[in-house]
Chain A
Amino acid sequence: MSSPEARLKLLHISKRYPSVVANDDISLSVMPGEIHAILGENGAGKSTLMKIIYGAVKADSGEMLWDGRQVNVSNPAQARRLGIGMVFQHFSLFETLSVVENIALVLDEAFDLAALAVRVKEVSERYGLPLDPHRLVHSLSVGERQRVEIVRCLLQDPKLLILDEPTSVLTPQAVQKLFETLRRLASEGVSILYISHKLHEIQSLCDSATIMRGGKVTGTAIPRDETPASLARMMIGRELPVCVAPPYHGPVHPVLQVERLSLASDDPFGTSLKDISLTVNAGEIVGIAGISGNGQAELLAALSGETTVDREAVWLAGEAVGHLDAGRRRDRGLVFVPEERLGRGAVPALSLARNALLTGHRQGMKRWGLVAFDKAQAFAEQCIARFDVRCGGPGAAARSLSGGNLQKFIVGREIMLAPKLMIVAQPTWGVDVGASAFLRQTLLDLSRSGVAILVISEELEELFEISDRIAVLAAGRLSAPQARELADAESVGLQMAGLFTDTDAEVSHAPA
């Protein structure tokens, strides 16, 4: 029996870092046209393995076969020449260059920028990933930056495409569209390595799966033959935790009121906010869905006070606070977890204790203008213990923590400030499955203690899991929030794409 040659075969790959074994004796093979899932939690070693394939990291031992021949990929340029394309989870884009210039940089051939811009536009539209080739990357949101990465891979006609959690920033419709694209690519013979921890995506898309945990392969499976529960067990070694939303019986009164907030963006590529109204009551979580770049950054800054607006546009516990800066709004019971953890939510070079002081100084950490560093230290220690932050203690620099652990620290710090209103952007971005469930449950419990919570997220599943009401922010407009029981992923997804069903629907295409 002659079986066709595998496109990619890995044999006994191992990679050790000083403190951790990232990959321990990993073997897998991918056939031409196969969509192969790599399933595992953050820290399971998926990204390291993919970087080894892509030549960005060198394995300590093991072999790699490409179309049956042994290859030694020593750098990404060589990987690209073989036909390996990779969309990284963390982007490698130059902020001061435009989209098309960034794409031109990784092409290993001569290029004509104008012609390339046209191609970029074509490809991006064909795959439902709209991009303006001439925008500067620094003005793009996280979601839009990922689009650039995907499009730049597709331009290189890859034979093997590696996608590292590509759907976290896409609408359900766009996910379906991407899946169609990936299936088409597969039918054309392109092999796809699809990294994810989303079980239903893997079940609907992938032909086979390799499951990793703690740097080892813990199983291989045909996803369609498995149940989510059985996949989850292989992935996290236990049952997938489920969030529970207990009913709220406390007093219901509005804590955050946004009234006809309009805001022109300073950034020429930013999104202006148009006539946004919203109420968040004590004891509930309101979720705002939408793809970043649709006014999320502007809305968050206007709510947190980093941008001040008209006095009467934002109300906090019955007081007009639109004109107050972030510090004064925090004095009145607002806390905020931003999307950017390093550099905004925390100062990278400072210790966790000093980062506790950043917003925690209101908790009796200062007296006569002098700081009580022992109190900041105790606060940080308590936060680390209560929210299971894995780190070297309160003296560890914020930048030494992994993204998920720093997020736990920041969320924990803000919760410990005993807020009336909590605003959270992307609560579980980059946080592993177990910790995500913990954070979501923490938010639910906090809301049931009478705190009003506003969550802005690109992850629809997450919003449906924790929100009492869901609204959609698209192109700077906010839809009317719907109770979760009445909302469905389909209609929310349509709204995310900018198709409001109410007043904004553009139905009049005047026939000639």
Chain B
Amino acid sequence: MIDPHELWLVIIALGVGSFALRFMFLGLVGRRELPEWALRHLRYTAVSVLPALVAPLVVWPSATGGQTDPARLAAASVALCVGLFTGRVFAAILSGFATLYAMLWLVG
């Protein structure tokens, strides 16, 4: 059992800490101009953080206990290709899921 006092301590500390992280630059830097080298790096935040977050989940999915799974690999590849070539987010999501379910049905 989780101790309720510990639980609330964690919830509040995480809430305060997460807000501080989110507010760190928005709040402190505000309208001040950031130097060009900083902007040059920040342009690539999204295309760095999100792929780095996702890649291990694709290669070692938690649902299979970390075993590489052909269905999930195929779904990720299809979503990537459709997104790259059509530029449409929703088409990429749908084709990814279609591939995942088709593969799980075929294999499983």
Q: Do A and B bind each other?
A: no
Chain B interface residues toward A at CB < 8 A: none
Chain A interface residues toward B at CB < 8 A: none
